[in-house]
Amino acid sequence: MNRDSAVLVFLELGSDNAVLPVSLECITAGRKLADALQGWLFGLIMGSSVGGAADHARHCGLDRLYTLDCPLLGVYHPETYCPAFLRACDETNPHFILMGDTLASADLAPRAAFALDTGLITDCVGFEADRSGVCFIKPVYSSNVMAAYTMKTKPYLVTIRSGTEDPAQRQHDKGAEVVALAVEIGESTLMVEVLERVLDEQEGPRLTSSSIIVSGGRGVGGPEGFAVLRELARVLNAAVGASRPPVDLGWVPPKAQVGQTGEKVGPSVYVAIGISGATQHLAGMSASRTIVAINKDPAANIFKVADYGVVGNQEQVVPAFTEVLKEILP
Ligand SMILES: Cc1cc2nc3c(=O)[nH]c(=O)nc-3n(C[C@H](O)[C@H](O)[C@H](O)COP(=O)(O)OP(=O)(O)OC[C@H]3O[C@@H](n4cnc5c(N)ncnc54)[C@H](O)[C@@H]3O)c2cc1C
């Protein structure tokens, strides 16, 4: 094993104190990278009462798991997370650091890159490793071009888009060694005070973590059309997404928007209903494994990226599709 090629994966916890699916995907990516470089794969969990998450993660294919357990790390706060994260980097001296592309990492990663005096590559969907080095791949220009990035500085700090890899599964093994780290952080050092935390109410699976998404566009016709889509989503246990016009028209909340200025998703199945397939929409969903399009226009751009397509009026196709699924799904 080459300690100089150590890969450190930051395992972010959700509000239920479990490791986020995108972080488990980072373990899969990290394992591939560590194997290619014959390096170690380390995990890092920061939070409050992290025992349950650590017990799960240590069985997911890591060589070693580091934990930082402190009440002040219970929710993301830049002034506690950044010093704690740097403490773990100091301990592990990684060559590569992988994080999920999340709201917290969008804040933490640039702060850490600045403190470590290194670069940052965000929103990656893969990597290539050969003798000359490692390149990380990310979609650019609304996903019309895949660009390969490398760095002159060390460590490589990289965020990984959700849906890039299969999440690492718990294995029946003795589990990785767990090393508890300590960090000195106190309330007195905090300059920012969090006055209130408002949790977003969520009905059904979340857009960013669901393996199936049913998404509607202007062709859905209105809020009543989305009620029909929601029934399809319920039957499939899917999240509901949308292109921009239904958001602008107030048919669905802004958090449903998929695309260049909305969420970037990569589910196993993306069902696009009444969506034309503008480049700004494709930028957020073209990484989906299987794309199903329902559109009345056979020339719609969405059919160029779709694996399966139905040319037809969604008002007829969607209810009929839902009824068939109700009959065949348990
Ligand atoms: C800077 C910028 C950022 C943007 N960011 C985003 C973004 O993040 N996400 C995004 O989605 N867009 C974004 N857009 C907007 C984008 O350019 C498109 O305008 C938008 O994606 C089109 O949405 P749509 O496909 O729902 O609507 P339309 O392009 O109007 O397409 C509607 C489709 O529905 C079909 N249809 C109509 N009736 C039916 C029916 N009864 N049955 C079946 N099919 C039917 C039509 O054939 C058509 O293909 C952005 C634009 C700009 C300029």
Q: What is the pTM (predicted TM-score) of this model?
A: 0.80
Q: Would residue 200 count as lying in a domain? A: no
Q: Which of 106, 111, 107, 122 is nearest to 160 (CA)?
A: 122
CATH value at residue 21: 3.40.50.620
Q: What is the pLDDT of residue 321?
A: 96
Q: Provide φ and ψ at 134, rounded to 5°.
A: -120, 135
State which residues form the domain around 121: 2-189
Instruction: Measure 220 CA to ligand 1 centroid, in angstroms.
Output: 11
Q: Taking CB atoms and a 6 Å cutoff, what residues make up the pocket around ligand 1? A: 217-219, 243-245, 257, 259-262, 274-276, 278, 280-281, 284, 295-297, 300, 313-315
Which residue's CA is minimally distant from atom 36 of ligand 1?
Answer: 219
Give all strands of the β-sheet with 133-140 in edge-to-edge order.
126-130, 133-140, 145-149
Pocket perturbation via mutation, ligand 1, pick of 240, 280, 318 by most ligand atoms within 8 A of CB? 280
Selection from 88, 128, 135, 130 nearest residue 112 by Cα:
88
For residues 117-136, average pLDDT: 92
Mean pLDDT of the chain: 94
- The answer on 124 and 167 residing in a single domain is yes
Across the range 292-296, mean pLDDT stands at 98
pLDDT of residue 2: 64
**Which helix H or strand E contains 82, and what residues bound it?**
helix 78-92
Q: What is the pLDDT of residue 201?
A: 76
Of 34-43, 182-191, 281-290, 311-320, which gets the smallest average pLDDT? Answer: 182-191
The partner residues of 311 in beta bridges, in order of sequence, read 295
What type of residue sits at position 79? E
Residues 35 and 151 in one domain: yes
CA of 277 to the centre of ligand 1 (A): 6
Measured between alpha carbons, how far is 22 from 197 in angstroms, rounded to an integer? 23
Pocket mutation for ligand 1, best pick of 229, 248, 255, 281 (most atoms within 8 Å of C-beta): 281
Residue 294 lies in a domain: yes
> What is the CATH number for 257?
3.40.50.1220
> What mean pLDDT is predicted for residues 109-137?
94
**pLDDT band at residue 175, thresholds of 50, 70 and 90?**
very high
Residue 303 lies in a domain: yes
Shared domain check, 132 and 62: yes
What is the largest distance, in Å, between two alpha-carbon atoms of the chain? Answer: 63
Start-to-end Cα distance in the chain: 47
Torsion from C-alpha of 191, 192, 193, 198, nearest 10 degrees: -170
Does a structural domain hold residue 204?
no
* 140 & 254 share domain: no
Residues 278 and 311 occupy one common structural domain: yes
Segment 188-210 shows an average pLDDT of 83
Q: How far apart are CA 115 and CA 104, in angstroms?
A: 17
How far is residue 62's CA from residue 42's CA, in Å, rounded to a whole number?
A: 6
Ligand 1 test: best mutation among 143, 243, 288, 302, most atoms within 8 Å of CB? 243
- Report the SS3 class of residue 94: coil
Residue 40 and residue 177 in one domain: yes
Query: Could you tell me the distance, in angstroms and rounded to a whole number, from the CA of residue 195 to the centre of ligand 1?
Result: 38
With H, G, I as helix, E, B as strand and everything else as coil, classify residue 252: coil
Is 81 contained in some domain? yes
Do 161 and 250 sit in the same domain of this protein? Answer: no
Indicate which residue's Cα is closest to atom 50 of ligand 1: 280
Nearest CA to 75 among 193, 183, 191, 167?
193
Do 29 and 171 belong to one domain?
A: yes
Write the pLDDT tens digit of every residue in 223-244: 999 999 999 999 999 999 999 9
Residue 1: pLDDT over 70: no
Distances in Å between the Cα of 304 and the Cα atoms of 139, 157, 212, 286 are 18, 34, 20, 11
Pairing status of strand 126-130 against strand 133-140: antiparallel
In a domain, 197, yes or no: no
Task: Name the E strands within 131-249.
Answer: 133-140, 145-149, 156-160, 177-181, 212-216, 239-242
Testing ligand 1's pocket by substitution, the residue of 141, 244, 321 carrying the most ligand atoms inside 8 A of its CB is: 244
Number of domains in the chain: 2
